[in-house]
Structure 1
Amino acid sequence: MDSAVFTDKQIIYMLNSRYYAVRFDAESVDSLCFDGQILTNKSSKKRRGSYHDIAKILAARHGDLIFPTTLILSPDFTVQQRYFEYLSPEKLLKTLQ
């Protein structure tokens, strides 16, 4: 999606004008605060298959992590839409409108 979707001029415009876009590496070892909780990756080193707690919370479906996951959150961080699939430029643009 990085090279084919997030380089599309219409998507860039829509994201920059209406959203606060965040890309997160599910294998990150950085701690972060989300909704008042400190979330971490239990592994101290970035490695394949060791996933951050926020990925486990937001990118899981029926207990399995699914990538790529695209989330649309409200200003209060409530999940409005969740996609567990590759989104084409057309599908993402329709979602963002």
Structure 2
Amino acid sequence: MKRIRLLIAFIAFGTLASFQNVNETPEKEINWITLERALELQKKNPKKIIMDVYTTWCGPCKMLDKHTFHNEDVVDYVNAHYYAVKFNGEGNDTVTYKDKTYTNPNYDATKANRRNSAHELTRTLGVRAYPTMVFFDENGDYIAPISGYLKPRQIELYLKLFKTDKYKEMDTQEKFNEYYKSFEPTFKE
């Protein structure tokens, strides 16, 4: 009986300690904002934009969010060099981009957590798969979409490519391949 009480006390203490540790060291997070807010901030402090186009039902989107967008190196780099936008590619938000308003006229609220109609902005940006990271320059102009789940070191390649404008020099696949081969990642996995 004494052993059982001691075991219960040990488990209770361990559980309590683990809850305290979770609350003491909050995870770093990317400062996600809306596209409209990012475009507004660019007027005062020009930075590029990374937009995470996701859906609620997408497994790789959830993995990207959990493993890549919570990686300390990714968080620090994105927060320092980009405005970060999280956009539900099948959501019901009204978004204004380049003086045009985009909606999802075929959105079905009963399918909010399942496959739904693609948002007009999703189509305009050429997103055909989830997740897709869409990059914009300091003027809010579209640069490129990068589709698929990327690990921290994989996304680092694109974050640094678009941040430095090296992408403007890459008018052939060969030039990108050279950049890719010479790139030395520094982010921890």
SS at match of 1:23: strand
TM-score with structure 1 length normalisation? 0.85
The residue aligned with 1:2 is 65
SS in 1 for 2:66: coil
Kindly, what percent of the aligned residue pairs are identical? 24
Distance 2:94 2:145 in 1: 23
Pair 1:82-2:145 in alignment:
yes
> Which AA in structure 2 matches 1:82?
P
User: Which residue identity lines up with residue 97 of structure 2 in the other structure?
Assistant: F
Give the conservation status (yes or no) of the 8 Å contact 1:59–1:69. Answer: no
TM-score by length of 2: 0.46
**Are positions 1:49 and 2:116 aligned together?**
yes
1:30 aligned residue: 93
Q: Distance in 1 between matches of 2:141 and 2:85?
A: 15
**Please, which moves more after superposition, 28-37 or 45-54?**
45-54
Match of residue 129, structure 2, among 66, 72, 77:
66
Distance 2:108 2:87 in 1: 16
Structure ID, larger Rg: 2
Q: Is the 8 A contact 2:132 2:147 kept in 1?
A: yes
1:11-30 matches, cutoff 5 A: 11-30=74-93
Distance 1:59 1:26 in 2: 11
RMSD between aligned alpha carbons?
1.5
2:45 matched to which residue of 1?
none
Structure with higher helix content: 2
AA at the equivalent of 2:95: L
Point out where structure 2 has 5 or more consecutive residues left out of the alignment: 1-63, 161-189
Structure 1 stretches of 5 or more lacking a match? Answer: none
Q: Deviations over 1:14-68 (max 9, x none)?
A: 11011000010011112111110010001253432311101111143xxxx2111
Q: How many residues align?
A: 93
Task: State the SS of the aligned residue for 1:22.
Answer: strand
Decide whether the 8 Å contact of 2:90 with 2:118 is kept in 1.
Answer: yes
Dislocated runs of 4+, deviation >6 Å? none
